[in-house]
Amino acid sequence: MLNYIWGFMIIVGILFGALNGTIPDITDAALNSAKDAVTLCITMTGVMSLWVGLMEIAKNTGLISSITKKIQPFIDFMFPNIPKGHIAREHISTNIIANVLGLGWAATPAGLKAMEALQELNKGRKTASTEMCTFLIINISSLQLIPVNVIAYRSQYGSVNPVGIVGPALLATICSTLAGILFAKIMAVKK
C-alpha cells in the first residue's frame, strides 16, 4: 500500500511541476537529493561502525555483562517469564544499554538476537509473546541519554548547535519510555 502512496505522490509532483513549468527544478532537486543521500549514508556508516565497534569492545571487556547484572531488577520487572540465565536477558540488556547511550544502530544486532531468543521461548508460535511485545515497545520508545545519531545528522547538515537536541530528546524519550512501560504492563495484565 505504501508503494502506491509514494508512487501517487511522485506522479502528482511531476504532473504539478510540468503544469507549472518547473520540471528543471524537480530534476535538479531529485539529483541533489540523491547526492545528499549518498553523502549522508557514507557519513552515517562511519558513525555506525564506530559505535558498533565500541559496543563489541564493551561486550568483550565484560562491561556489558557488568551493566546487565545491574539492570536485572528492571529486566525481572519487565520480563518476568524469561528464565534466569537465559541468553535473551543478555541480548535485551545489551539492546537497552545501547539505546540508553543513544547508539541506536549498535542496538539493532542485539535487538534481533533478543527477538530470536524470545521466539525460541515462544516455542514456534505464529503470534508474538507478551515478552516479545514488551521488548518491542521498550526498544521503540528508546530512552536515550545522548542521541548520537541525531547529533551526527545535525552536524552533517551544518547545525550551529548539533548537541542542542540533547535536553528535548532526553525529555521526549523519558516520556515515551514511561508510556511504553505503562502500556506494556497494562496489556500484560489484560492478557
Q: What is the DSSP letter of 146?
A: S
10-residue mean pLDDT profile of the chain (191 residues): values are: 87 86 83 85 78 80 84 91 89 87 78 92 86 90 80 83 89 90 86 67
Residue 139's SS3 state is: helix
* Nearest alpha-carbon partner for 91 in 117, 122, 66: 117
The pLDDT of residue 191 is 67
Cα–chain center distance at 46: 17
